[in-house]
Amino acid sequence: MVVAIDLKLYVESWEMKDPIVVSRGTYSQAQLVVVELTRNGVIGRGECCPTAHYGESVDSVCEQIRGIRSELQQDLSRQQLLESLPPGAARNGIDCALWDLECKEEGVSIWDKLGLQKPERLATAMTVVLGETDKMAEKAREFQAFSTLKLKLGPLQNAQNLRAVRAARPDARLSIDPNEGWTPELTQDLAPVLDEVGIALIEQPLPAAADQPLENMALPAPLCADESFHSSADLPQMHGRYRYVNIKLDKCGGLTEALNILELAPKYDLIPMVGCMFGTSLAMAPALVVASQCSFVDLDAPLHFSEDRDDNYTIKNGEYLLNSSSVWGG
């Protein structure tokens, strides 16, 4: 007999330590949705972050999730979920809750369930948000424990900001993220400065709808698709334009699809990295599974909140200590 799954949703507001400034706006708090699935007294949880830039809101995501309540009660599988909902935050919340529920029901960790070796620790990049040049350099020095820094950049003061951060952290691996805020001309003009300071990765410089000029652009570092890339269905279009694709569970719609991307990306000569929207340790836990297979890891979201969940991960010397929390995945 199929035992029905009980669905509950919780909408939570999380305050930032400091406002997060990127080229398209400033964020002082995040609205997160927690999905809770219960079967036979066992509870699985998933967390997702609705993203307005992708046409999502808390209300729309909750409506999507509630819309498949009856399918969940009929024992909807994770593979069936891929067909029931499109990529996005709603599917991510349900998918991760299903993984958590299965692990707890089976009494295994997510690592054992997937046949993966669990690392003791995983390093993450730390984001230096867009701001005045001296402030960005100050933050770069403050984040001394992080071996990789990601710089948020905009249309102005890029050369000054890049040189100041490099002077502050000559030891760091630097990536940049203009969040679609550049033009082809600006991207090309900044190429000598990017080469001078030794940028390791350039993430989504042009708008997703207008990134075709990147195909023929000579740049000193590989390009990574973020806003242009959501799910495995986008992989063919990324080939030849980008070298990396940024897997975010809230974009692709969960760990199940993220694992598909990890498997399929090399067939298109693409290298996966892992990033995140806003989220607590509950959202980072499934992303850390993806991170174990990536060389670029950008999962610093919990560090930007004023607080994290009670069963949070310890991050020491820029690294997640994976045995420090059992917040998700068995």
Domain with residue 251: its CATH number is: 3.20.20.120
Residue 211, pLDDT > 90, answer: yes
Last residue of a domain, one of 65, 81, 107: 107
In what side-by-side order are the strands of the sheet with 121-123?
Answer: 121-123, 319-321, 314-316
Host domain of residue 221: 121-324
Whether residues 80 and 126 fall in one domain: no
Tell me how far apart the alpha carbons of residues 153 and 243 are, in angstroms, rounded to a whole number: 20
Has 316 been annotated as catalytic? no
In a domain, 330, yes or no: no
Residue 75, pLDDT > 60, answer: yes
Please tell me whether residue 216 adopts helix, strand or coil conformation: helix
In a domain, 301, yes or no: yes
Predicted structure pTM score: 0.96
In a domain, 270, yes or no: yes
Mean pLDDT score, 39-45 = 97
Whether residues 47 and 156 fall in one domain: no
* 241: confidence class by pLDDT, cuts 50, 70, 90: very high
Q: Which of 152, 251, 267, 316 is catalytic?
A: 152
Has 135 been annotated as catalytic? no
Residue 295, pLDDT > 70, answer: yes
Whether residues 320 and 173 fall in one domain: yes
Tokens matching residue 206 = 């042009």
pLDDT tens digits along 103-143: 999 999 999 999 999 999 999 999 999 999 999 999 999 99
Q: Which of 104, 139, 248, 251 is catalytic?
A: 248
Whether residues 221 and 157 fall in one domain: yes
Mean pLDDT score, 196-222 = 96
Residue 2 confidence (pLDDT) = 58
Residue 198 confidence (pLDDT) = 98
- Cβ atoms within 10 Å of 85's Cβ, excluding its own: 22
In a domain, 254, yes or no: yes
Whether residues 102 and 168 fall in one domain: no
Inter-residue contact 253 to 92 (CB < 8 Å): yes
Residue 174, pLDDT > 80, answer: yes
Worst-scoring range by mean pLDDT, 24-28, 32-36, 177-181?
24-28
User: With left for phi above 0 and alpha for psi between -120 and 50, is residue 83 left, alpha or beta?
Assistant: alpha
Residue 170 confidence (pLDDT) = 98
Mean pLDDT score, 198-225 = 97
